[in-house]
Structure formats: structure tokens, C-alpha cells
Chain A
């Protein structure tokens, strides 16, 4: 590159208390406190933000144009420069990062929200597949991940015991009493703490046994964590079904330094996609993750932390391999998608969690990853750094 890029950093991150159901809140009611928290941390008002970008999905809400009413929570008046991606908010962050690079913005607000509990997420996500050959068979995301898990086991990359270890480690990391992140800056309580226990309890598997158990979404008749949902994946290998929202604030150069005394600088960010059909891909590999990581500079120096968007335990195996993460890297100290999975916000939360760790000095160089599409079809990798103290 002959032109120096602008320095851009994540300077604030907020997320909801992820719950199985949002207690009767609309999307905007869920989102608004998170926006206030993120802006409050950055010491900015909505009118100070140069660009706003969000990520969500009409298919999760069951309504066309569902994102338009969420804008009510932003206070878009006078009118704002704003855009929306119909996918995980991590890609909204990417769009905002590009906008800041062009010089057209110094600050950006990025948010994402998802109400995975509104529909049956296992049915909803089948609609993401090839509409001619795949969607008519209704193969759900657990089934597809299980095909991938079997391929990994056959290839000797993992076994069910190792997957159990990933599940246990992730849930333990998110449990009350696990290293509670310290707030580094900003005002008000950290939105993500504490996470509701009901969010962690609601495995996808349990909705099989106890769908619509009661109106509030509290799941009864819980299925044991070691029951197979689609073998070789057990309930514990699957993500919880959760509703939630997240927001981050991005800022360039000196603006970032004014807002935070340890901004999480985005040293590189890139995303890549693979072919759609599972039958033409080697499911044990993630070349798109590898390529995105290369382009983001992930292999230029070691990272100490990785926040991986792996909704299924087996997918962490694929990602660790693609990203060449050794045992010296702290993987998903937040608990990852296995602890809280508000679909369409989960990837953005990985970026936010990685940034928050840098903010509070727990990491100097962190990798954040987000995924979209069946079986890790599309992947985004960002490298975040705190300045050396």
C-alpha cells in the first residue's frame, strides 16, 4: 500500500443482558439502552456520530423491513448518515471502518440486534440455504454442523471428548464468578454483566424437547446436556437461543485517543466467502478464515486472545486450525457463542469482547472473528491492538 491508512479503533462496547426471551420488549426497547450505554462510554451524543451502521435480519424477526423501526432508538434527527447490512453486525462494523478510512467520518456507531427466540431458529436458518436443492429438505443448522463435526472426527481433528472440553471451558468462562471484566472507562454499569442464567440454560436441544414450554420462554423438561441433538453433536455442543443487542463506537486517530486512554486499534480487518454447497467444500478446513486472517495481518505477530464466532463446539476446532491458534492463546474468554448467541449480534459481540479486553489491559493483541452462512461459509477476521504501555 502506497497510502497510509487512517488509524481506527473500537472505543466503546455495550451489550444486553442476553436472555432467552426479552421479557416482552420490542426490538427498539431492547436496543436503546445498549446504544445509550455505548455512546455514554464514549462520551458522545447521537448527533456527534458521523456514520451509523447496523446489522440484523428480517427472517429472525419474521417481518420485512424490521430494521427501520429499530432506528427509532438511535434518535436519527436531524437526519443521519446511516446504512444497514442484512447480516451479522460484524459486517456493519466493516462497512463503518471503510467509511472512516475514506475520511468521510471520524466516528461511527455500529449496532446489531437479533431476536432468535421469535421464530424457531432451526427452521428459520434453513431458509438461508440453496432454495432449489437444499431448503426443500429443511436441513437445520445443527444437522449441518453435525455433518461437519463427523468429518472432523473422521479426519482425526477432534473427538467427542475434546468437544465436551470446549463446551465446558466456554460455559465456565461465562459463568458468574469467572473473571469478571473490569470496566475501563465510561459511565453507567456494563451492559453485559451479569448475563441472565436463563440465557445460558436454553440450549437449542431443549427447544426440541420443550418448545413453547410456557409463555415466558422459561424452558421446562430440560434435556440432559449430553443427549445427542444430531449426532455427533450433543446439546452441550450447541449454542443457546438468545435475544439481544450490541453496540460499538468506532473512532479515528486522535478522536479515539481523546475518547479512550487505551483504544482497541483495528490493525487489519478482512472477510471472505466460500462456495455455498457443503458437498464442494472440505468441511474440516476454513480457507476463507485463513485468507481473511492473512489479509488482516493476523499471522504477522502472535495474538494473546481470540474471540471466535463458533456457535458449535466443532467449529472452534476448524477455526483454531485455520487461524493456527496454539494453546498459549486465550480463546473465547467471554464464553463465546456457546454462552450467548443473539444471532446477527454474536459476531459483533466477538469484536466488542476482544476490544473490551484490550480496553481493560487484559490483552495487547487480540483476534476477533465473525461468521455467517451455513457451516462457516463466510468469515471475517479483525486484529485489534492496544498501544504498548
Chain B
């Protein structure tokens, strides 16, 4: 049995903002879906099934909002599947959609992820107090900062690496018209002197809270042949999960992340990711996660990730550009953030990333993670179709 090759032929995302008060929830998802359909030169009737993902329903206060959204998503009379794998959900959702094409269950699938977290104030949705449990003493950053300190202790990384990442990603975002943050007057000095919120994490090294959505059209070989623009071809995709907390858990470099990357590289025939992959869109909600994930994903040896960042390797014009779109540090509609990584990777190999295009990108990795650094989803896309 062979899998049907899967092509990304349409990509759309919304304008992202802290609060998209100009649209309803339906209006938000439509903005992304419409752009994806236009990119693929398809209409709603060309779509066989819809796969939708988002993070907790409490963000918008609508339980299983896909039921209310069925009409807006053009899903009436079609299969509509809802995925929720915490922060990795945008990636997982795309992979579930890809499987429908790969298994030849459907030929053309719309996949979409969104968050309109301004409806509830996202931090409330994340920090509902649970009886008997000790309240999280430190807010979201307090969950991540101790892991960053552990990384610094383990690798001897100097203090300033986090600021370099934030400065790079915010500068990249200036080239991405859809990004939430456009800090035209940003300087490295401003990042370095921004308030220390959760030492060692500074204000400018944290992600924003965004409303937004991302959509993609995935299709088979026949669909790809009809597409008006070059497709991105899926060469490997995987999900891995490990428990939230356990004895021996490595929060700095979770094994689920390593295993997930290894699976994707194996599927794609990648043996040297550092050399063979041209661009990476990785899920970096706090800037220090770039060097951490560089190691976890096999782009650098253990303890060496920060050296790539420091040497400018991950810059837009570097040898291995990471988050040319500006990444999660510039745009973070939580449920959609993972799909944005997948979509931006696909834009790169399609040559349709505009001002933040990595010259000559042929293979790109999209990466998402969530929960207590426990859920991972990744895909590797390329300009050429898979040979097998």
C-alpha cells in the first residue's frame, strides 16, 4: 500500500492583532479560509472535508465551536473533524488533514486553526484556579523561565542569547505583513534593557497574545497539477506525546521532540538536517526556546544550539534561517500558532513568502509543541514531490 502524495496548494492567514474587534468568530476563520481558497483558485464546493483545530474552548467560551462554525466553514454536508492537542494543535490539525489525503479518504481538504482569545482574556482561560491545587505562583512565563535557567546551566550559554533571538524575530516580522507585532523602532539595546519579568526572561523575549487564524488547502497529485501556484509537498509528518510530568522528564530537551523530529527526518530521507533543511519555522514562545529547540531538533549538538544563534546562523540571511516570518514571538493566536509554523514552512518552499522569503528554499521544517513541553507535531515540506 502506498500513500497518496500530499500537496499544500493554498495558504491563508488573517491579519493578527491583540483583539480583532472588527470580526465575529466566524468572520475571523473565514478571513483565513477565503485567502487559502483564493491561493488555490478553488471554491467551497471543491472542498471534500474540513479539519479544524484550536486550543481550549474556554478561550472563546464556546464548547466545540466547530458546531457553530460549520456554516461559515462551508462544511454543511461534509465531514468536519475537530482536533485539540494543546499548543501543538495547529500542527496536529494539519497532519490529520494530510492523513485524509494520504489515505485517499478525501482528495481536497481544508484545514484551519484559530484562536480569538481576546473574547475571554486568554490568561484567564489558562489560569482557572483548580480546587486543592497550589496556584501557579508565577504566571505563564514562570512556568518556562526555570527551564531556560536549566538550559543556561547545562550549556553555559551567555545571558544575551535570548535577546538576540527576540531582536531577530521582531525584525523578521517587519517583513511579514500579517504579523501581529510590527516594532519598527526596535533595537537590540531596547530588547536587552526591557523589563526582566521572570528572570531570566525579559518582556521583549515573550510572545504576544493574538487573535487570528490560519488555513491551508491540502490535496492529492491531481489537485496539485491543477493548482495555479507551485505546491509544497509533504515529505514527512509526525506527532509525539509524552506525559506532562514524570520522573526523569527533560524539560530542556524532551524526548518526545527528539523522537518526533527523528521520525520526520526518517520519512523524508533527511540524514543531516543542518545541511539539508533550508528554513525552519519553530514554535518559540519565549526567545530562549530557539537554541533549546535547535538542539532538540538535531540542528546542533547538545549544548551548542546557542552558538548557532549567536553566530547569526538563524538570521534571515543566515545559513539556517529560523522563523523568517517573525515566529510566535511576533504573532501568537495560540491554537493557530502551530499551523502558522507549518504554513510558513510551506510558503518558503513554494517561493511565496514575499519579503521574508529565504532565497532558494527547497526544504523547510514546521514545528509545533504544547502542553508541558509534551505534545509535538512537525512536518517537512519540499518544493519537489516525494520520489516514492
Contacts and interface: CB of A to CB of B under 8 A. Distances in A.
9 contacts: A52-B241, A59-B64, A68-B371, A78-B242, A82-B85, A83-B239, A84-B84, A272-B77, A378-B70
Contacts of A98: 96, 99-100, 103, 105
A85 B75 contact: no
A78 B1 contact: no
Contacts of B82: 85-87, 91
Interface string B82-106: 1111100000100010011011110
Interface string A194-218: 0000000000000000000000000
A94 B80 CA distance: 11
Interface residues of A, number: 64
B68 A86 contact: no
Interface in A139-184: none
Contacts of B63: 57, 59, 124-125, 127-128
A26 to B, nearest CB: 11
Which 10 residue pairs spanning A and B have beta carbons closest together?
A: A101-B103, A79-B256, A86-B84, A64-B56, A82-B241, A59-B63, A373-B67, A79-B242, A127-B63, A128-B63
Contacts of A64: 56, 58, 125-126, 128
Residue of A65, A271, A373 with most chain B CB atoms under a 10 A cut-off: A65
Interface string B56-74: 1110111111011111000
Residue of A52, A58, A78, A94 with most chain B CB atoms under a 10 A cut-off: A58
B361 to A, nearest CB: 26
A24 interface: no
A189 interface: no
B4 to A, nearest CB: 8
Given A98-B100, A127-B61, A127-B62, A65 B76 contact: no
Contact of B244 (A72, A86, A132, A372): A72
A378 B1 contact: no
Contacts of B83: 83-86, 95
Interface of A: 1, 3-6, 52, 57-59, 62-65, 67-69, 71-72, 76-87, 91, 94-95, 98-99, 101-104, 124-125, 127-132, 135, 270-277, 287-288, 291, 372-374, 377-378
Nearest to B24: A132
Contact of B243 (A77, A104, A276): A77
A174 B386 CA distance: 53
A85 B4 CA distance: 24
Contacts of B128: 62-64
A135 B62 contact: yes
Contact of B255 (A78, A272, A273, A374): A78
Nearest to B1: A103
Contact of B99 (A57, A72, A102, A124): A102
Contacts of B239: 81-83
Contacts of A378: 67, 70, 80
B79 interface: yes
A276 B86 contact: no
A102 B6 CA distance: 12
Interface in B121-138: 125-126, 128, 130
A68 B78 contact: no
Nearest to B69: A276
B81 A91 contact: yes
A58 B56 contact: yes
Contact of A84 (B24, B67, B85, B130): B85
Nearest to B248: A77
Given A68-B372, A124-B63, A131-B25, A83 B244 contact: no
A274 B92 CA distance: 25
A131 B246 contact: no
A216 B20 CA distance: 45
A86 B79 contact: no
B240 interface: yes
A272 B81 CA distance: 9
B275 interface: no
A102 B3 contact: yes
A307 to B, nearest CB: 20
Given A83-B83, A102-B99, 16 more contacts: A59-B63, A64-B56, A68-B86, A71-B244, A72-B243, A76-B241, A77-B243, A81-B238, A84-B84, A101-B103, A102-B3, A127-B62, A275-B76, A276-B70, A374-B67, A377-B67
B374 interface: yes
A297 to B, nearest CB: 14
A272 B85 CA distance: 22
Given A78-B255, A81-B240, A272 B68 contact: no
Given A83-B85, A91-B81, A131 B62 contact: yes
B319 interface: no
A273 B79 contact: yes
A277 B246 CA distance: 45
Interface string B25-64: 1000000000000000000000000000000111011111
Nearest to A61: B130
B80 A273 contact: yes
